[in-house]
Structures are given as structure tokens and as C-alpha cells.
């Protein structure tokens, strides 16, 4: 069974449905590439997926270690290459004012983030810069 079903909506826009949940995502081409930039672009989703995947795996480790990630937030910056047009770098800035755990657990969380499935799936051509502000 398919995981995602998608359709082209016209005007450089797509809609994807997550089959299991029935939730939808619309994508739009960015303004700098002939689009309206009214929704996430496909490359925005890749960048967002990296941050979300990192935190998902950190959450699994945190649950196992009985540590709360409450208050953890992050910002994602995507940098594009022009020729050929592709993602050049994804920068993830994590912010956590009250890390709960000793240095050993914090290191486990950082290692979990760096080895999440999305991070491991991206080409080595995509630079991943991860800043842990905790």
C-alpha cells in the first residue's frame, strides 16, 4: 500500500495525502523559482523533515532515558545552490534553555539527532550544519 498519494493542482502546485492519516500537504514553487511561495516548497519540506526527524529520534532517546524535551525548539535555514538547482546546505539551530540531563545524556541526544534516518539519507553533497545551543 502506498504511503503517500499526490496530485498536481496546476500553477506549479501539488497536494500530497498521507494515506494512513488522511492529512494533506500542499506544496508551491518558491518565488525565486517561478512560484507564488504560498506554501512549503518541496525543498522546504526536505529541510523541515531533517529537523523534525532529528527531534523525533532525540525524543525516542529522551523517553528511554526518562528525560523531558519540553521547551526544545529549532530553526531551519535552507541554502540553495543555483547550478544545478539543489539544496546546498541545511542549518539546524536547536535551542533549549533548560536541558534536563547530565552531559552523557546530552551527548546521546546530540548523537541521536546526527544519525536520524533523514540525516543518513541525504546526499553527502548536502552540508548539514547542526548547532546545539544547550
Q: Is the dihedral of CA 62, 3, 50, 39 positive or negative?
A: negative
Strands 24-28, 13-18: pairing kind: antiparallel
- Homologous superfamily, domain 42-133: K homology (KH) domain (3.30.300.20)
Asked whether residue 98 carries a pLDDT value surpassing 80, the answer given is: no
The whole-number pLDDT of residue 101 equals 64
Alpha helices, DSSP H, located in the chain: 42-65, 103-114, 117-121
What confidence score (pLDDT) does residue 62 get? Answer: 95
Q: Residue 130 in contact with residue 114, Cβ under 8 Å? A: yes
Pairwise CA distance, residues 105 & 62, whole Å: 8
The domain ranges of the chain are 4-33, 42-133
In contact, 60 and 97? CB cutoff 8 Å: no
Q: What is the pLDDT of residues 30-71, one digit of tens each?
A: 999 999 999 999 999 999 999 999 999 999 999 999 999 999
- pLDDT at residue 63, as a whole number: 97
Q: Could you tell me the CA-to-CA distances from 114 to 6, 37, 83, 96, 106 in Å, in that order?
A: 30, 29, 28, 17, 13
CA separation for the pair 36, 115 (Å, rounded): 34
Instruction: Output 44 or 98, whichever has higher pLDDT.
Output: 44
Amino acid at each position: 500500500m502506498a504511503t503517500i498519494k499526490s496530485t498536481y493542482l496546476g500553477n506549479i502546485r501539488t497536494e500530497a495525502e498521507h494515506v494512513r492519516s488522511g492529512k494533506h500537504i500542499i506544496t508551491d514553487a518558491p518565488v525565486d523559482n517561478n512560484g507564488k511561495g504560498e506554501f512549503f516548497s518541496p525543498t522546504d519540506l526536505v529541510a523541515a523533515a531533517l529537523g523534525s526527524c532529528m527531534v523525533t529520534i532525540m525524543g525516542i532517546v529522551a523517553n528511554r532515558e526518562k528525560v523531558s524535551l519540553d521547551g526544545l525548539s529549532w530553526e531551519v535555514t535552507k541554502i540553495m545552490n543555483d547550478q544545478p538547482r539543489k539544496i546546498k546546505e541545511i542549518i539546524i539551530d536547536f535551542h533549549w534553555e533548560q536541558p534536563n540531563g547530565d552531559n552523557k545524556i546530552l551527548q546521546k541526544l546530540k548523537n541521536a539527532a546526527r544519525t536520524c534516518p533523514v540525516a543518513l539519507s541525504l546526499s553527502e553533497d548536502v552540508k548539514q550544519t547542526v548547532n546545539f545551543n544547550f
